Amino acid sequence: MKIIKKEYIYKESRDDLLAQLRGKVFHVTTHHTFYSMQASGFIGHNKEERFPLNTTSENSLGRKRGWVCFFDLRNISDEDLEWTLRKYYFLEPDWFTRYTKEDTISELAYLILDDSALSKIISIEDVKKNEGQTQIYEHYVPEAEVWYPSDVPFSLVKEVLLVIIQRKAPKDKPWLYAHHMDAYEKQQNKSGS
């Protein structure tokens, strides 16, 4: 498994990250979770809520079925990619961001699936063909989200892109800085409890 490390200042990250991810199928998580997965030997599904849920995974179509969620950027159009990023900004998901008084830091891991695993990938078209309509309130990103039907052995991860994105706190914009500090305080209170 190849590991690539990249560090960005926020505005520099988008185009370079997309260039690294286009044409690939990947799972996104944090550095911390990546190292835990690596130690366990697999990317685990979260049907039984073994891992903390973020705001979109509570009603995730894949999670409810015991599947691991991936993004498939192999043949995505520019228009569908933009729609995907509006629905789920996998280039820097909010719930993976750590706040300090001076900046925000995102430590992301993109786990790129090996070609040998692609035949098992389940698309939304597969779900609809086999199950009919999805259940009401199930969350998924129709343009790019796909699933692996069980825990994914780490041997099926061919490459990992470890990324750090740093963004300075907007101290020159009082309203935005107040929002930043509110998020910082909430994160401090949550980690202290």
What are the helix (H) ranges across the chain?
10-21, 31-40, 61-65, 78-87, 124-131, 174-192
Dihedral sign, CA of 81, 88, 163, 147? negative
Helix (H, G, I), strand (E, B) or coil at 29: strand
Query: One digit per residue, pLDDT tens: the chain, 193 residues?
Result: 899 999 998 777 889 999 999 999 999 999 999 999 999 999 987 666 555 555 566 677 788 888 999 999 999 999 999 999 998 899 988 888 899 999 999 999 999 999 999 999 999 888 877 766 656 567 778 889 999 999 999 999 999 999 999 999 999 999 999 999 999 999 898 876 5
Cα 29 from Cα 34, distance rounded (Å): 7
182-188: long-range contacts, CB 8 A cutoff, minimum separation 24? 183/99, 184/99, 184/100, 184/101, 187/98, 187/99
Report d(CA 133, CA 50) in Å as an integer: 27
**Model's pTM, two decimal places?**
0.88
